[in-house]
Amino acid sequence: MRSICLPVDLELPDLDRLDAIVGTRRSVRRGDALYRADDAFQSLYAVRSGSFKTVVVHRDGGEQVTGLFLPGDPLGLDGVCHDAHACDAVALEDSSVCVIPFALFDAFCHDVKPMQRHFYRMMGSAIVRESNLLMVLGTMTAEQRVAAFLLNLSERFRTRGYSPTAFSLRMTREEMGSYLGIKLETVSRMFSKFQKDGLLETQGKSIHLLDLEGLARI
C-alpha cells in the first residue's frame, strides 16, 4: 500500500515523523462527502480502502464527475490552489482515508527533499490525468470512451496487485456516463455491445474483461 502511496525511500527518523503526520484515519460512508467545494483546504488525503469520485457542480445543478480514486490515490490536491477545495469528493462505497494535515506535510516536504519531489509528482500526475481525460472527452466516440475507461481501470488495478481483468465497479452507469461525457443509457448500450462481441462479461457491478487487446483496438 505504501509503495503506491509513497514510493519514496525514507530513512528511519523521517519515516517516524511522517507516520506521526499521517496518523489520523477517517471513515466515510457511501454517498457522504469527504469534503465539498469551498470547504477550507486543510488536509490532503490518501484513499485507504473503498473508492471516491470527485464532482464539479455547475451553478444550474449540472454535475460533472472529474475523477475516480482508488486505494492509494491521493485526494484533495484541488485545494492547494485557493485555500479552498474546488470540487466535492464523495465516497462510492463505505471507505476510509488517511488524513494528512497540509501544514505539517508541507513542513516535512521542506525538510526532506525526496518527499518534496514526490509531492511535485503527485501534483503533476493530477494534471496529466486530467489532460488524458480531456483527450477522451474531446476526441473519442462513446464506444471508445467506455473502452478507454475500462482499460484505464484495468491498468490501475493491475499496478495495485489486483486482477486487471475481473473487478467490481461501485459507480453507477450514470456516474460513469458523467465521467465520460455521455448518458447512462449509452454506457449501458456499450456494455451490452461489448458483451455481444465477446470482449467482456458483466453482472451488475462486477466486470470481467475477456479481451484487453480487443478493447484496445476500438
Asked if residue 46 binds its own copies (CB under 8 A), the reply is no
Minimum Å distance from CB 110 to DNA?
A: 43
State the helix-helix crossing angle for 102-111 and 12-21, rounded to 10 degrees. Answer: 170
Partner whose binding site includes residue 10, from DNA, its own copies, none (CB under 5 to 8 Å by kind)? none
CB atoms within 10 A of CB 177: 22
Q: Which part of the chain contacts its own copies (CB under 8 A), choosing from 26-34, 121-129, 159-167, 195-203?
A: 121-129
What does the block give as the cell for 119?
Answer: 509531492
The strand pairing partners of 29, in sequence order, are none
Residues 189-208 within binding reach of its own copies (CB under 8 A): none
Q: Buried (b) or exposed (e) across 37-61, using 16+ Cβ within 10 A?
A: beeebebbbbbbebbbbbbeeeeee
Report angle CA 18, 21, 25 to the nearest 5 degrees: 115
Report what 62 binds from DNA, its own copies, none; CB cut-off 5-8 Å by kind. Answer: its own copies
Residue 72 contacts its own copies per CB under 8 A: no
- Helical ranges in 112-211 per DSSP H: 113-139, 142-159, 173-180, 184-196
User: Pairing relation of β-strands 25-28 and 43-49?
Assistant: unpaired
Residue 143 interacting with DNA (CB under 7 A): yes
Amino acid symbol at 143: E
Residues near its own copies (CB under 8 A), total? 39
**Closest CB to its own copies among residues 138, 204:** 138
Q: Quick check: 189 binds DNA (CB under 7 A)?
A: yes
Among 23, 124, 161, 198, binds its own copies (CB under 8 A): 124
Residues 43-102 that bind DNA (CB under 7 A): 93
Compare residues 13 and 62 and give the one whose CB is closer to DNA.
Answer: 62
Q: Is residue 178 at the binding interface for its own copies, with CB under 8 A as the rule?
A: yes
Q: Which of residues 6-45 bind DNA (CB under 7 A)?
A: 30
Contact segment (CB under 8 A) with its own copies among 128-136, 157-165, 187-195, 198-206 equals 128-136
- Strand order across the beta sheet in which 33-35 lies: 33-35, 88-91, 52-57, 63-69
